Chain A
Amino acid sequence: MRRIIHLVGLLALPIIVSGCSDMGVKPWERDVLAQQEMNLISDPLESSLDDHIYFSKEASSGGQGFGGGGCGCN
């Protein structure tokens, strides 16, 4: 199972990177994405509080960033 996931990940990467060159917008079409609400992490403090709670209550952490950690709560 793990091997398959590794393989799929490795195969997907170049497709993602090369396929991406067709996507996207021109510099003058960035009005919507430039909105603060469209940042992938639009509320860093809210995200860090959530990360802290889930880190101390579950066996997984991180993914989006390094996430949680730095505490003796787990």
Chain B
Amino acid sequence: MADKDLEVVAVAVTKKTHKNRELAQLLTAASCALIGGLSQGANAADSWDVDSAFLLYSESDGRVSAAEPVISATKNFDEETKLTFKIAADTLTGASPNGATASDHVQTFTSPSGKGSYNAAAGEQPLDDTFKDTRIALSTNWAAPINRDWAYGVGGYLSKEHDYQSLGLNGSLSRYLNQKNTTLTLGLNLSNDTANPEGGVPTGLVQVPLSSSDSEFTQRSDAENKNLVDVLFGVTQVINRSTIMQFNYALSTSSGYLTDPYKILSVIDDNAGANFGGNFQSSGRDLYLYEKRPDSRLKQSIYWQTKHQFENDNILDVSYRYMFDDWGVNSHTIDAKYRFRFDNQYLEPQLRWYTQSKADFYHRYLNSSDYTSTDFASADYRLGDLDTYTLGLKYGYKFADETEFYTRFSLYHQESSGDKGYGKLTTQELYPGLDAAMLILGYKF
């Protein structure tokens, strides 16, 4: 309608009236029409955008499978002022490696609650099949400009599982330079997490008891905390009309209870004899210890991302991350996506490669001769030498009303490696790989 008013005014102006008064009236009408048009534009921005997705994740050999629906709604007050709410839920079921090594005999493990037990057959990777969880996560974020050169954002989140809670606050400040071709961003994230594991918090590097009636269980505390502080400094630079680049440096500290209460380690007999390389016996049974990690961790990372659009409208998105921490973990990640764009559809192959070196206290197993002098130890393969590969294909369709549907199928492969052991242990598979399939369905409206 505003456009029509402008049209009428334009036609009137071309009639070339000679009277100043009429001209003044026309100008007034024109400016009114313009302002009317602008405010109508602002009303159009004053709308809700909804983004929804559903993830199905499934690991081979009946390990973990997960389903995660997530929905986010953004209220756009104007081009740069937005309020976002997001809710995600996920359910996990299946079996997870408990950290113990495979053995030449059937192994029996006490369940985390101490109220039951589970077995691993001879030669099989011990998996804790009592693993089951549901998580709900809520988050909100507000982003707005301060003036022409500055913008800020604030947010908060809350997530809850039956044995874990996390509460976080974050904020960011951005400064635009060089006609908004350069953006400097400083971000801060604070989080307080509480772990209240099933069966209480076990004592690190102590023998896993037979049941919850054991004194180790009765002296346990119910919950432990950890605090996280993340600081991120980023530079985003427009290179040319079709290329944008980002460079980030991030520092992340965590302190408090960083141990995984459900993970254990096998102690292997290194005394010469018939049981060399077999499970070490203590109190008349195989010896397993609860893992124990340091109570602080400082991670640093540098991240570089470039997005480029070619003459044919296809888009290349490449990123690289280098991370290192004071636990001795170093990692490299390369992520590449190439989007083939057709009229209202697109096809996007994705490739990701990740490699990490082990933490200083990672041990696939402990030795009977020196386990008592160990300060920290974990057999969690996620802290070991690890390479992972992801191969994915995404397809999207944009409808005439600007809503969009997309789906993505990816395969994820993990390969662990490390010390092969000695004696009887060398016949066991200590570093089984993992394959997982992921399917995402998304709809934006």
Q: Does B9 contact A (CB under 8 A)?
A: no
Partner of B181, one of A23, A48, A60, A65: A23
Contact code string B275-308 (vs A, CB < 8 Å = 1, else 0): 0000000000000000000000001011101010
| A58-B53 in contact (CB<8A) | no
| A60-B248 in contact (CB<8A) | no
Distance between A46 CB and nearest chain B CB, rounded to angstroms: 6
Hey, which chain B residues are within 8 Å of A30, CB to CB?
241
| A25-B195 in contact (CB<8A) | no
| B329-A24 in contact (CB<8A) | no
Distance between A32 CB and nearest chain B CB, rounded to angstroms: 5
Q: How far is the CA of A53 from the CA of B327 in the complex (A)?
A: 22
Q: How far is the CA of A60 from the CA of B133 in the complex (A)?
A: 22
Q: Is the interface of B mostly helix, strand, loop or mixed?
A: strand
Q: Does B315 contact A (CB under 8 A)?
A: yes
| Contact status of A63 and B166, CB under 8 A, knowing A24-B179, A29-B241 | no
Contact code string B43-80 (vs A, CB < 8 Å = 1, else 0): 00000000111010100000000001010100000000
- Considering only CB atoms, which chain A residue lies closest to B237 in the complex? A20
Q: Does B225 contact A (CB under 8 A)?
A: no
| B159-A33 in contact (CB<8A) | no
Hey, which chain B residues are within 8 Å of A2, CB to CB?
324
Distance between A11 CB and nearest chain B CB, rounded to angstroms: 13
| B249-A9 in contact (CB<8A) | yes
Q: Does B323 contact A (CB under 8 A)?
A: yes
Task: Count how many chain A residues have C-beta atoms less than 8 Å from C-beta atoms of the other chain.
Answer: 47
Contact code string B299-336 (vs A, CB < 8 Å = 1, else 0): 10111010101000001010101111101010101000
- Considering only CB atoms, which chain B residue lies closest to A25 in the complex? B241
| Contact status of A71 and B164, CB under 8 A, knowing A33-B244, A40-B236, A53-B438 | yes
Partner of B232, one of A24, A45, A66, A71: A66
| A72-B161 in contact (CB<8A) | yes
Distance between A51 CB and nearest chain B CB, rounded to angstroms: 11
Q: Does B129 contact A (CB under 8 A)?
A: no
Q: How far is the CA of A46 from the CA of B241 in the complex (A)?
A: 26
| B53-A57 in contact (CB<8A) | no
Contact code string B182-205 (vs A, CB < 8 Å = 1, else 0): 101001010101010000000000
| A70-B382 in contact (CB<8A) | no
| B333-A16 in contact (CB<8A) | no
Distance between A28 CB and nearest chain B CB, rounded to angstroms: 10
Hey, which chain A residues are within 8 Å of B239, CB to CB?
23-24
Q: Does B240 contact A (CB under 8 A)?
A: yes
Distance between B26 CB and nearest chain A CB, rounded to angstroms: 28
Distance between B249 CB and nearest chain A CB, rounded to angstroms: 6
Hey, which chain A residues are within 8 Å of B242, CB to CB?
32-33, 38
Q: Does B411 contact A (CB under 8 A)?
A: no
Q: How far is the CA of A26 from the CA of B30 in the complex (A)?
A: 29
Distance between A37 CB and nearest chain B CB, rounded to angstroms: 6
| A17-B182 in contact (CB<8A) | yes
Distance between A34 CB and nearest chain B CB, rounded to angstroms: 10
| Contact status of A54 and B354, CB under 8 A, knowing A44-B72, A70-B157, A72-B195 | yes
Hey, which chain B residues are within 8 Å of A74, CB to CB?
260, 382
Q: How far is the CA of A69 from the CA of B383 in the complex (A)?
A: 16
Q: How far is the CA of A64 from the CA of B333 in the complex (A)?
A: 12
Q: How far is the CA of A54 from the CA of B237 in the complex (A)?
A: 27
| Contact status of A43 and B301, CB under 8 A, knowing A24-B182, A38-B309, A54-B354 | no
- Considering only CB atoms, which chain A residue lies closest to B235 in the complex? A16
Q: How far is the CA of A27 from the CA of B68 in the complex (A)?
A: 40
| B382-A59 in contact (CB<8A) | yes
Hey, which chain A residues are within 8 Å of B323, CB to CB?
60, 63
Hey, which chain B residues are within 8 Å of A24, CB to CB?
178-179, 181-182, 237-240
